[in-house]
Amino acid sequence: MALVTKADIRLHLLCIFFAVGSFVWGYNVGILSSVLVHPGFVKAMGHLTPSRKGVITAIYYLGTCYIFISHPASDLFGRRYAALAGIFTVAVGSAFECGATGSGAYAMMIVGRIISGIGVGMLSTSVPLYQSEVAPAGKRGKYVVLNHVGFVAGLAAGFWVGYAVTFWDATEHDVYVSWRVSLAVILIPCFIFGVGLPFLPETPRWLIEHGHYDAAHKSLYWLREGSFTDTEVDAELTHIRENVEQHRASSESSWLSLFRDRNLFERLWRASLLQFMAQMCGATAMKYYLPTLFANLGLPIRVTLMAGGIESTLKIGMTVIEMLLIDRLGRRVTLTAGCVAMGLGMLINGVLGQVYPDNTNSAADVVCIVFIFIYALGYSMGFGPAAWVYGSEIFPTSVRARGLNFSASGGAIGSIVVAQVWPVGIDTIGSKIYFFFMAVNFVCIPIIVLFYPETKGRPLEDMDLLFNKSFGGAGEDIDEHTEPVLPKNVSRQSQN
C-alpha cells in the first residue's frame, strides 16, 4: 500500500491553494506595518498622530462585517464562491489604498481599509471552513493549520516587500510611488486565487446541505480515494447526510438558534471568546506595530523592517511545526503552551523597559528583541492557528458558517480594542502596557483548561455528542477515547 495516496496529494494541494487566500490576508497585515512608517505614506497622510494611525489599523476590522456578509455568502453560494467574492473585494479595497492622494488621502485610505476588511472577513472564514469540511477527522487540525501557514507566509512577504521598497528612495517620485507599489503587489495572489477557485470541488457537507447528493458523493470519493475503502467513504457520506437532516429537522434554520439552543450557544461563546483572546493577547499590536516597537528599542527603520521580516519568516517554520503537532497533542495543549510563551515575552519586555528606560542598556534591548521573537513563536504555535481550527470544527454543518462568522467577530472586536489601545498606551505609559497584555495571556490559561473540551480526532458530526456530554446535555454517552476513522494505509497500532 502506497504511503502517499491520491487523497493525500489532493488534500494537500487543495488546502495549500486555499492558503493563498490566507496569504492575501497576511500580506494585507504585514505590508501595512511597513507602510505606516514609510516616509512617503506619512507625507501623503499629513499629520499622522498615534490616534490616527490607530484608526487606520482598527477601521479595517470594522470593515470585516463578519456577521452580515461572510455567513450568507458561505451558506448560499458555497465556500469557494464566498472566497471568490472576498478576494475580489480585497482587490477593490487595495486599489483605493494605492490611490490615496491629495487632501482626501486619509479619507481614501480609510475607505480602502474598510473595503479590504470586508473582503478579508469573507476570506478569513471561508478558507478554514473549506479546509475543515474536506479534511478527514484524524488529520483535520493539520489541514486547517495550513490556513495559518498561508497567513504568516503573507505576513512575512509583506515585511520583506516593505523592507525592499526602503531602497527605492533615490528621488522624491520614488518615495511617492514605492509604498503604493508595495500595496499593489497583493493583486498578484488575488488574481491567482480568483482564477483557480471555480475549478475546485465544493465541500461534500455544503453540497449535501443544499441537496446535491450526487455531487457530494463524487466530491467525497475524490477527496478520499486511496486513503479510505469504499465502505468507509459510504459510511462517512451517510453520517454526514444523517447529521445534516437531523439538524435541518431542528430549529437551527434561524440566526437565533445559536443563542436559543443551549448546546449551540455553549459552542458559540467559547469560539467567540477564543477569537477575542487570540487578539487581546497582543497579537494585533505585534502584527501592525512591530517595526514601531523595534524602532522604540533603538533600531533604524530599515533594520526594524528586516527584523520584522525575519520574525515573520521564523513564524512560518513554527506554524509548520504546529501543523504536525496539533493532531497529536491536541488543541488545548498547544493553546496553553502558546499563552505561557507569549506571557513570558510580554513580562520580560515590560520589566526591562522599566529597569532600563530610554534604551540605556543595549544588552537589555537585545533581550527585549529576543523575547518579542519568543512571543511571536508562541502565537504561531497557539492562538494563531488553533483558534481557527477550533472554531471551524465545533459547529454542525447547518450553522458552521454562521457560528464561525459570529465567533470571528469576537476577534474583530479584540483587534479594534488592541489597535487603539497599543499605540496610545506606548505613547503615554511606555513599556508598562506590556504588563496588561502579559496578564491577559496568563488569565487565558485557566480559561482554556477549564472551559474548552478537546476536539482532536473527532469527526465533525460527533461534536454534538462531545458537547452534550461535556455540558450535561441529554445526548448519548460517548467514549472520550474513541479513535477517529483512519486512512486504510495507517494501522491502529501505529497511532499508539
pLDDT tens, 370-414? 898 899 889 988 998 899 899 888 988 778 878 888 888 888 888
Identify the pLDDT of residue 125: 83
Radius of gyration for the alpha carbons in the chain, expressed in angstroms and rounded? 23
Residue-level length of the chain? 496
Identify the pLDDT of residue 63: 60
Helix 383-393 and helix 262-280: axis angle, to 10°?
170
Pairwise pLDDT comparison (406 vs 296), residue with the higher score: 406
Identify the pLDDT of residue 365: 82
Tens of pLDDT along 49-105?
777 877 887 777 766 555 567 777 888 888 899 999 999 999 999 999 999 888 889
Residue listed under C-alpha cell 503615554: 428
Tens of pLDDT along 98-116?
998 888 899 999 999 999 9
If one counts every other C-beta atom within 10 angstroms of the C-beta of residue 409, the result is 22
Q: Are 127 and 146 in contact (CB under 8 A)?
A: no
Q: Which helix (H) or strand (E) holds 427?
A: helix 400-429
Q: Which residues contact 245 (CB under 8 A, 6 or more apart)?
A: none
Tens of pLDDT along 213-246?
999 999 999 999 888 888 988 998 998 888 888 7
Q: Which residues contact 363 (CB under 8 A, 6 or more apart)?
A: none
- In the predicted model, what is the mean pLDDT of residues 32-48? 85
Tens of pLDDT along 446-465?
999 999 999 988 888 788 88
Identify the pLDDT of residue 495: 38
CA–CA distance, 430 with 407 (Å, rounded to integer): 32
End-to-end CA distance of the chain: 20
CA torsion sign, 22 to 23 to 28 to 29? Answer: positive
Q: Are 125 and 79 in contact (CB under 8 A)?
A: no
Count CA within 13 A, CB hemisphere, residue 12.
7
Identify the pLDDT of residue 485: 43
CA–CA distance, 401 with 113 (Å, rounded to integer): 24
